[in-house]
Amino acid sequence: MAFHEHKWLIEKTSPVSGHMLGVDKHITNLKTKYQQVEIADTQLYGRVLILDGKIQSAEYDEYVYHEALVHPVMLMTPAPRRVLVTGGGEGATLREIFKHPGVEKVVMVDLDNELVGLCREYLTSWHQGSFEDERLSLIYMDARKYLEECDEQYDVIIGDLPEPVEKGPALKLFTSQYYALIKKRLAENGKFALQAGDFSMPFIDVHSSINKTLQEQMVFVRSYKAFVPSFNTEWGFILAAPELAKLPDMESIDRIIAERELKLLFFDGEAAAGMFSIPRDIRRRIAEEERVIDDDNLIAIY
Catalytic residues: 160
Residues 111, 116: Cα–Cα separation, whole Å: 9
Find residue 54's DSSP bridge partners.
51
Let me know: does 237 contact 68? Beta carbons within 8 Å: yes
User: DSSP characters for the chain?
Assistant: --GGG-EEEEEEEETTEEEEEEEEEEEEEEE-SS-EEEEEEETTTEEEEEETTEEEEETTTHHHHHHHHHHHHHHHSSS--EEEEEE-TTSHHHHHHTTSTT--EEEEEES-HHHHHHHHHH-HHHHTTGGG-TTEEEEES-HHHHHHH----EEEEEEEPPP-BTT-TTTTSSSHHHHHHHHHHEEEEEEEEEEEEE-STTSTHHHHHHHHHHHTT-SEEEEEEEEEGGGTEEEEEEEEESS------HHHHHHHHHHTT---SS-SHHHHHHHT---HHHHHHHHH-----BTTB---B-
Let me know: does 18 contact 8? Beta carbons within 8 Å: no
